[in-house]
Amino acid sequence: MPLDAPWDGLLLAPWLATLDGDAGYGLVEDGALAWREGVLAYVGPRAGLPGDPQALADEVVEADGLVTPALVDCHTHAVFAGNRAAEFELRLQGASYADIARAGGGILSTVRAVREASEDALLRESAPRVAALVRDGVATLEVKSGYGLDFDNERKMLRVARALGERHAITVRTTYLGAHALPPEFAGDADGYIDAAIGWLARLHAEGLVDAVDAFCEGIGFTPVQTRRMFQAASALGLPVKLHADQLSDLAGAALAAEFGGLSADHIEYTSETGVRALAAAGTVAVLLPGAFHVLRETRLPPLDLLRAHRVPMAVATDCNPGTSPLLSLRQAMQLACTHFKLTPEEALRGTTVHAARALGLADRGVLRPGLRADFALWDARRPAELCYWLGGGLLRSSHAGGRRIA
């Protein structure tokens, strides 16, 4: 890939936070960032440019603010129909989850809404959520299925996820989450449902709709034995796995994900030291989801000290979903991770760039370094900590994905 000038674009800014290296922000003052053919060509001090800036690129922008890698949201359920605001209100009025479920609410209410929506309607309803994330600095997004729970509707969700990537000119990585909940037509037959979901996986993969496979391994979800069967099917197809692990109890989900060389284990509030050691040995990323922790008013923290002690990379994501984390800002997730989990701002920023990219198996982004994708964001900020400091507000000035402006 040619990296020499002339370049397609050159951005001059007072501060770059490259995140290049194992620690620190990789700060560059009075910095310059250039790209060509969607790839970063120069990242460094303005004084190190090989000539007059105006002669080096087709487009030269001199901006005020902080440049970072564009953000990566590595765990979302952003494709769904309807919402569960009424349930949110009922919970605050004293209704229990069981009460809501008996009244036809909970995840199955979203399943009904998704099944009733056409593909076009589902795309129209999901697009504003993705647009909000893009306006907040996201250029790479993971989207899970799991609200269809039959072949046609899981397929519909994954097709919409692909279409959202094209519409917003971002990278969307799709995750098949057929093992999310038990649909009513399989009531009392979880093993039979897993058989069916494994069959759908092969067909969806053949259509090019699946980048990874996930499952909800929990007492109210699927057992470790059932999850293992799904992971074995994924591995047979050459697909990487990730897992909703140990959110409500310790079923050794993190260790199970690590056993299969999983990209990530997500939630992990109840993961034991044995599970953390397994993540470290496998190189599996721990994905922290403070939005659900916040909305559910949880008190059990992930094993953060153990994760640090064993040098497990920690990512942060929105978990955008209609029930437990209706969160449309990855920067707000960073703030919640700092507040609830006591991550440092550097850990939170690395968690939404370097480590989030790793949680999706993407080695070409998350850092500002020549040769990597030209995915970067310009913020109305002077210090990286400001991205976690402010509650709300529009700090993003612009962002690029593959050298193309998307916000």
Give a yes or no: residue 2 inside a domain: no
Residues 98 and 147 in one domain: yes
Do residue 129 and residue 216 come from a single domain?
A: yes
- Mention every residue, 6+ apart, whose C-beta is less than 8 A from residue 107: 147, 180, 181, 323
Domain membership of residue 157 (yes or no) is yes
Question: Do 33 and 122 lie in a common domain?
Answer: no
Instruction: Based on the fold, state whether residues 61 and 77 are members of the same structural domain.
Output: no
Q: How many structural domains is the chain composed of?
A: 2
Judgement on whether residues 32 and 102 belong to the same structural domain of the protein: no
190-206 vs 224-236: helix axis angle to the nearest 10?
20
Spatial neighbors of 276 by CB under 8 A, at least 6 apart, are 254, 286, 303, 306, 307, 310, 312
Phi-psi region of 366 (alpha: psi -120 to 50; beta: other; left: phi over 0): left
Q: Is residue 228 part of a domain?
A: yes
Determine the structural domain holding residue 23 and report its residue range: 7-70+366-405
Among the candidates 344, 359, 374, a domain finishes at 359
Q: Is residue 29's pLDDT more than 70? A: yes
Q: Once rounded to an integer, what is the mean pLDDT over residues 222-245?
A: 98
Residue 128 domain flag:
yes
Cβ contacts of 230-235, under 8 Å, gap ≥ 24: 230/178, 230/179, 230/194, 230/197, 230/198, 230/201, 231/256, 231/260, 233/198, 233/201, 233/202, 234/201, 234/260, 235/260
381 in the same domain as 290: no
Give the integer Cα–Cα distance in Å for 201 and 23: 39
pLDDT of residue 1 exceeding 70, the answer is no
Cα dihedral 313→318→322→328 (10° resolution): -170
How large a percentage of the chain has pLDDT more than 90?
92
269 and 370 in a single domain? The answer is no
Q: Is pLDDT at 2 greater than 60 in this prediction?
A: no
pLDDT in tens, 58-97: 999 999 999 999 999 999 999 999 999 999 998 899 987 6
- Domain end call among 323, 341, 359: 359
Residues 148, 66 share a domain: no
pLDDT over 50 at 387, yes or no: yes
**Count of alpha carbons within 13 angstroms of residue 103, beta-carbon side:** 12
**The domain that contains 126 carries what CATH number?**
3.20.20.140
Domain boundary among 342, 359, 376: 359
* pLDDT at site 51: 94
- Distance, in Å, from the CA atom of 161 to the CA atom of 156, rounded to the nearest integer, reads 9
- Answer whether residue 1 is part of any domain: no
pTM equals 0.97
pLDDT of residue 290: 98
Residue 221 lies inside a defined structural domain of this protein: yes
pLDDT band for 106, please (50, 70, 90 cuts): confident
* Of residues 294, 217, 308, the one with CA closest to residue 254: 217
Q: Are residues 254 and 376 in the same domain?
A: no
Q: Mean of the per-residue pLDDT values for the chain? A: 96
User: Which domain CATH number covers 54?
Assistant: 2.30.40.10
**Per-residue pLDDT reduced to its tens digit, 257-311:** 999 999 999 999 999 999 999 999 999 999 999 999 999 899 999 999 999 999 9
Residues 33 and 161 reside in one and the same domain:
no
64 in the same domain as 81: no
Do residues 192 and 300 both lie within one domain? yes
> What is the rounded CA–CA span in Å between residue 328 and residue 137?
11
In a domain, 352, yes or no: yes
Give how far the C-alpha of residue 15 lies from the chain's centroid of Cα atoms, to the nearest Å. 26
The burial class, CB within 10 Å (0-12 / 13-18 / 19+), for 162 is middle
Query: β-strand 138-144 against 71-73: which pairing, if any?
Result: parallel
